Structure 1
C-alpha cells in the first residue's frame, strides 16, 4: 500500500473512517472526558439517592437517568468528532438558528418549574433547556463570521457577531439567566481576542457588561438577592451556600468516607449545582483536585493543539469552546467555595442534567473534531517548507 505523506499526518488512501478517526483523535482529551463522566456517576450514587427518596422514586432513579443521558451524550460526541470541520460548521450554523428560535420562544412556551426563571421546555417525560445547546453553536457561528471577515472582500463578520451577541444576551436576561449570559460573553470575547480584537474594544465590552450588571441589580430582585448574599460578610448557615461551605470544610483532605456525608440530605441541588460539595465532603480535597486537574488537562491540551492550527475558523471555534468549557467549570467550582455569586450552573459531565450532558457532548465532539491531527495542521511544516524552498 502506498502511503502519502502530507504535512504532519500520513494519509492512507482508502482508509476507513473509524480507523482514520481513531488515529487522528486526541485520545488524552477523550480519556479525561470519560474519567469526568465516571466521577459524575460515582458522585451521583451518593448525591441523588436522597432526592429520589424525597420524590418517592427508586433509590437510583436519577443515576440511571444520568447513565442514559451520558450514553446519549457520548454518542453525540463520537459522531460529531468524526465529522469534517466543514460539516461541523454547517451543523453549527443551522443549529444556531434552531437554538436561537427556541430561546426566543421561551417567554411564550417555556416553563420555570417553580424556580423563578423560565429556562425550560417541558416535554412531559423530560425537560429541554435551549440555552445549553445555544452555547456551542453560537461559538461556531461567531468563529465562522470572524474568520470570514479576515478574507478578502469578506463580510463585516465582527460587527454582525457583536449584534448577534447583544440579541442572545437580551433573551437570556429575560429568563433571567445571567450565568449563561456571562458564559456567552466570555466565549465571544475569547474568540474576538484570538481574531485580533483591540484591547480598548474588549475593555469597552467589559464596561458594558458591568453597566448591564448594575441595571440588572436595580431591576431584578432575583439577581439582587444573589449579589447581596455574595457580598454579605456573613454566610447564613441555613442557605445552600452555608451548607456547601460546611461540607467542604468537614471533608478535609481525605473526606468523611463513602456515603458518610450529610450535605446531600440537606441541599436540594446537591446533585447539580453543588455536586462538588458532595465530592469534597465524602472524598476530600484529593477528589476535588483530581476533578480540577482533569479540566485543566483538557483545556491545556486543546489550546496547545489549537496553537499550531492554521485554519482560522478551526482555531477560533476551538479556542471559544475550550474557554467556554473551562469557564463553566471554574464558575461552578467558584460558586461552591464562595469565590463567585450563585449562578445555577452545572459542572460539565459531573452534575446531573440531560440538557447539560447532551449539549456538552455536542461541544466536546466539536472540540475533538477541531483538535484532530489533519494534513497541514502543523504550522512548523509550512514554515520549514518555505525555508528550504
Structure 2
C-alpha cells in the first residue's frame, strides 16, 4: 500500500446555495399582521416606489377621467346638437398629445428642463397679454382667458403659466441657493414675488380667480421649500389674504359663491344651484353608485358636469368607492411628489418637484372642496381628470418632470442600472448557443425520398 492510498479520505465540503443558507436568527419577517406590515413597509421604501406611484397613479387618473368624461358629457353634447362622443374625442386627443409631452418630459435631462424656464415664462406672459386684445381673446362663462385656435379648439394660456412659474422659480431659487443668497429676505422675495404678481395681474384681468389661487399656492409652496422665515412667510400670506379679500368683496359674483359654502338650498335666484346639485349627486350615489352612465344630475340639472363638477358625477355613478379611489390615487401621487422633493440632492429638482406637487394637490383640494360644499366654487378643473385639453397638456408634462426626477434619484438610478445588467429572459440568444430540440436531424436525401 502506497503512502498516497493510506491517507484517509477527506469528506467533500458541501456547498450551500443561497436558497439553502438559513438567515441569521431574528432576521426572519414575523408572521401575522406584524409581518404583513413589515413587508409592506419594505416594499414602500424601495428606491423605485415613487417612480411607480407617479407613473401608475397619473395614468390611472387619466384613464378613469376619460371614462367619466365620456359618461358625463354625452347629454351636454346632445343638448348642444353635437355627437354624444364629441367631448370625449377631444379629450382623448388631448390625452394622446399629453402622453407624448409626458414621455418627452420624462426623457429630458434636468439641464434641458432648466433651459425651458425662461422661454416658457416669456411665452406665457406674451400669451396672457394677447388674451386681452379684442378679436383674439375669447370670453367663456364671463371670463376672458381663452385664445381661439380655429374651429372648436381653444387654448387657455393661464394653464401654461403654472408650469412656466414652477420651472422659472425653481431655476431662480436653485441658482440663488448655490450662491448662498437665500439667507437674505430680499433674495427670497425679489424677483420671485414681483414676477408672480405680474402673472396674477394678467390672469385677473380676465376674471379667473381660481387660477390665481393656484399660482398663489405655488408661490407659498416654493417659499416654504426655500426655508423662508416665519415672519416673512406670514407677511406674504397676510398680504395675499388682504388682496384676495378685496377682490372678492368688490365682485358680487364672487360674494355669491362665497355665500354658497355648505348650502343645502339653491337660495334666491338659484345662486347656489350648482353647489346644491353637486351635493345631491354625491348623496344619491350611495356606497357603489347608481352605475356607470346612470347619473340623473347630468340631464341638465348640474351645470358643467364634465368639467368643474365631474367629481360629483363620479360620486353619483361610482359611489363612495369611486370617489375614495380617486382620492387614494391623488394621495399616492402627492406622497410620491413629496418623496422625490425630499430625497434629491439637486436644489432645482427639489424646488421643481415641490412646485409641481403643490400645484396638483392644491388644485385637486380646491376642486373637490367646492364639490363637497366645503370651499367656494373657484372654477378650476380636477387635474388629469376633468375635461379640458388646455389643463391636461401642461399637467401631463409636469407629471413627466416628476417621473424624470424620480428616476434620477441616486438609489433609483443604481437600481435601474442593476436591472439593465440582468440577462433578458426572452431575447436574442448569445452567439454560438444552440437550442436543444426534440427534432431529429435528418440527412438530406434526394427529392422524393424520406
Instruction: Give 2:74's aligned residue.
Output: 49
Q: CA deviation at 1:233?
A: 7.4
SS in 2 for 1:341: coil
Q: How far apart in 1 are the matches of 2:373 and 2:154?
A: 29
Give 5+ residue unaligned stretches, structure 2.
1-47, 414-450
Q: How far apart in 2 are the matches of 1:230 and 1:209?
A: 21
SS in 1 for 2:213: helix
Instruction: Give 2:211's aligned residue.
Output: 180
Q: Does 1:120 align with 2:146?
A: yes
SS in 2 for 1:328: helix
Q: CA deviation at 1:363?
A: 1.4
* Residues 1-46 of structure 1: CA deviation (Å, up to 9, x unaligned): xxxxxxxxxxxxxxxxxxxxxx999133111111111111111221
Q: Does 1:286 align with 2:359?
A: no
Instruction: Give 2:103's aligned residue.
Output: 78
* Residues 89-135 of structure 1: CA deviation (Å, up to 9, x unaligned): 11132111101211123221553444111110011220000010110
Give 5+ residue unaligned stretches, structure 1.
1-22, 379-389
| Residues 230/368 of structure 1: CA separation in 2 closer, same or farther (3 Å cut) | same
Q: How far apart in 2 are the matches of 1:99 and 1:262?
A: 40
Instruction: Give 1:147's aligned residue.
Output: 174
**Residues 197-236 of structure 1 correspond to what in structure 2 (within 5 A)?**
197-230=228-261, 234-236=265-267
SS in 1 for 2:397: helix
Instruction: Give 1:192's aligned residue.
Output: 223
Q: How far apart in 2 are the matches of 1:151 and 1:256?
A: 56
Query: Contact 2:367/2:380 (CA < 8 Å) preserved in 1?
Result: yes
Please identify runs of 4+ aligned residues in structure 1 that moved more than 6 A. Answer: none
Q: How far apart in 2 are the matches of 1:32 and 1:350?
A: 12
SS in 1 for 2:284: helix
Query: Contact 1:264/1:270 (CA < 8 Å) preserved in 2?
Result: yes
The TM-score, its normalising length taken from structure 2, stands at: 0.75
Q: CA deviation at 1:154?
A: 5.8
Q: CA deviation at 1:375?
A: 4.5
- Which protein shows a greater Rg? 2
Query: Contact 2:124/2:157 (CA < 8 Å) preserved in 1?
Result: yes
Query: Contact 1:99/1:131 (CA < 8 Å) preserved in 2?
Result: yes
SS in 2 for 1:118: strand
Instruction: Give 1:249's aligned residue.
Output: 283
Task: Give the structure with the larger helix fraction.
Answer: 1
Q: How far apart in 1 are the matches of 2:374 and 2:50?
A: 36
* Residues 272-294 of structure 1: CA deviation (Å, up to 9, x unaligned): 00001110001101000000000
Q: How far apart in 2 are the matches of 1:357 and 1:150?
A: 32
Which residue among 85, 93, 111 is the counterpart of 2:137? 111
Name the count of aligned residue pairs.
356
SS in 2 for 1:26: helix
Instruction: Give 1:31's aligned residue.
Output: 56
SS in 1 for 2:64: helix
The TM-score, its normalising length taken from structure 1, stands at: 0.86
Query: Contact 2:249/2:255 (CA < 8 Å) preserved in 1?
Result: yes
SS in 2 for 1:253: coil
* Residues 213-242 of structure 1: CA deviation (Å, up to 9, x unaligned): 221123223322322333767544771111
Q: How far apart in 2 are the matches of 1:366 and 1:325?
A: 13
Q: How far apart in 2 are the matches of 1:50 and 1:139?
A: 37
Q: How far apart in 2 are the matches of 1:199 and 1:124?
A: 48
**Residues 1-389 of structure 1 correspond to what in structure 2 (within 5 A)?**
26-109=51-134, 110-125=136-151, 126-152=153-179, 156=187, 158-230=189-261, 234-236=265-267, 239-266=273-300, 267-375=302-410
Query: Contact 2:169/2:192 (CA < 8 Å) preserved in 1?
Result: yes
| Residues 44/24 of structure 1: CA separation in 2 closer, same or farther (3 Å cut) | closer
